[in-house]
Structure 1
Amino acid sequence: MSRRVEQKKAARVVREQLARERRRQRALWTSVAAVVALVLAGMIGWAVYQTQRGGEYTAPPGAVADDSGIPIGDGPVTVDLYADFLCPACRQFEQQVGPTLDQLVEDGRITLVYHPVAILDRLSDDAYSTRASAAAGCAAAGGKFEEYAAALYEQQPAEGGPGLSEERLIAIGGEVGLDTGSFGRCVRDDTYAGWPAHVTEQAGRAGVSGTPTVLVDGATVASSAQAITAAVDAAG
């Protein structure tokens, strides 16, 4: 075999080896890219999961076991009320059904658990639902949750604009008998600012999709005085 032929064969072998090496490198980098993609997908999925969870929060003293609401009374039948302080239907509910709930509490028939959710932040310029709920947490800490909630409904702002200012929220506290010094510090320091998100998250887990929503011993009932009273009678 001539020297020229041997050189050609050697060159071909080298080319084949180089081609195999390039294929191996491509396969390696493809595998690396796939692993990186999986890792990134996992990181993104975890980030989404984290954003969907409630963040850190402080619940007002006396909140129920899962921190999702404020209990009023100590009767044997539990009535859960989910409401948003910016919700016009909730204001109407407070006016029309509130006295019935107050009477049931006073008669020792129910424990009313008030869940101040914040689902209507998008309908105000300043996340009013969250701010009002957090301020109500401060009122709960001061022992005036019921009175403060009623006052918030009496002075409910219109949807689509600014909510009540921080100073107005504090002034309402004074109007219902709270010490404006300690209550004002609680509001200004955002003591319970993270709590409304937790309340809202727990409401979603309970299947609540709108406000007002009423449950009597865990069963959803119509938001009327007659329906609630009938359900309490049946449960008691």
Structure 2
Amino acid sequence: MTRLLRGLGLLGVGCLLAACGSAEDVVGASSPDDAQTDASSNAALTDKGGVVVSGTDVSDDADDADSAVEVVIYEDFQCPYCAQLEESSADFLEEQLGDGAVTVEYRIVSFLDGASTNEYSSRAANAALCVFDGAGPRAFYEFHATLYDNQPEEGSAGPEDAQLATYASDAGADVDDCITDDAMGDQVVKSTQQMTAEGVTGTPAVFVDGEAVELTSETSLQEAIEAAIG
């Protein structure tokens, strides 16, 4: 199904951060420009198909700084190592976002449909972009956390569309039709193709101010951000 890239065992932390595999066989040979998207689907996405979350998206008291460190994270919501990264870094990232020290661009991709019995990877990715498209980055940020809190075990069924719609509503986005119609599906395909075009072959993949972060421990991302902040 997917080729797992084994990472280093982490002494004393009981966690393994590694890559979930390659998207190349899933997205096919098409170039990113070959994917068609809805007219509204990428209106506020970055040119790489990412969702940017800044300080004011997580806290009403936050300030957005022009000099904020730019963090980019490629992730597949079915990827267990992405969930491990989320668990180890979410609190730190939220703190840094609230301080205006960073912005985080989430590039949501899908190549792990085979790891669930109901194509959860692509459906979750579609739903996340529906939430962003319909209600903006704050709702996306909350929904993003909910998906990882409810990530299915590999080989099992993930939440169905009705449940994803409920999670979206709880986050402040009423996007039932977008979810059930797979309205952002073409954008998910395009984002996954873009990932391959960028030379990124697995998830999670993290960049801090354009520099790749080697995830050899659960504090690797924190250390890279702190170094970039200076």
**Which TM-score applies when normalising by structure 2?**
0.73
Q: 1:56 aligns with which of 27, 36, 39?
A: 36
Distance 1:52 1:65, change over 3 A: closer
Q: 2:204 aligns with which of 203, 212, 229?
A: 212
Mapped pair 1:70 → 2:63: no
Q: 1:164 aligns with which of 156, 159, 162?
A: 159
Higher helix share: 1
Residues matched between the structures, number: 184
Distance 1:151 1:61, change over 3 A: farther
Q: 1:84 aligns with which of 76, 101, 121?
A: 76
- 1:90 and 1:129 map into 2 onto residues whose CA distance is 12
| 4+ residue runs over 6 A deviation | none
Distance 1:225 1:71, change over 3 A: farther
Unaligned runs of 5+ in 2: 1-27, 55-63
Q: 1:175 aligns with which of 170, 176, 181?
A: 170
Q: 1:232 aligns with which of 217, 225, 228?
A: 225
- 1:216 and 1:178 map into 2 onto residues whose CA distance is 30
Instruction: Confirm or deny: 8 A CA contact 1:121 1:130 kept in the other structure.
Output: yes
What's the CA shift for 1:113?
A: 0.2
Distance 1:169 1:78, change over 3 A: same
- 1:133 and 1:167 map into 2 onto residues whose CA distance is 15
Instruction: Confirm or deny: 8 A CA contact 1:60 1:137 kept in the other structure.
Output: no
What's the CA shift for 1:207?
A: 2.1
Q: Which position in structure 1 is the counterpart of 2:123?
A: 131
- 1:52 and 1:126 map into 2 onto residues whose CA distance is 25
Instruction: Confirm or deny: 8 A CA contact 1:86 1:128 kept in the other structure.
Output: yes
CA RMSD of aligned residues (A): 2.1
1:200 alignment partner, SS class: helix
Q: 2:145 aligns with which of 125, 144, 150?
A: 150
Q: Which position in structure 1 is the counterpart of 2:15?
A: none
What's the CA shift for 1:225?
A: 5.8
2:219 alignment partner, SS class: helix
Unaligned runs of 5+ in 1: 1-49
**1:28-82 C-alpha deviation (Å, 9 max, x unpaired):** xxxxxxxxxxxxxxxxxxxxxx85234212334421133x210011552110011
Instruction: Confirm or deny: 8 A CA contact 1:221 1:227 kept in the other structure.
Output: yes
Identity %: 33
**Which TM-score applies when normalising by structure 1?**
0.71
What's the CA shift for 1:161?
A: 3.0
Greater Rg over alpha carbons, structure: 1
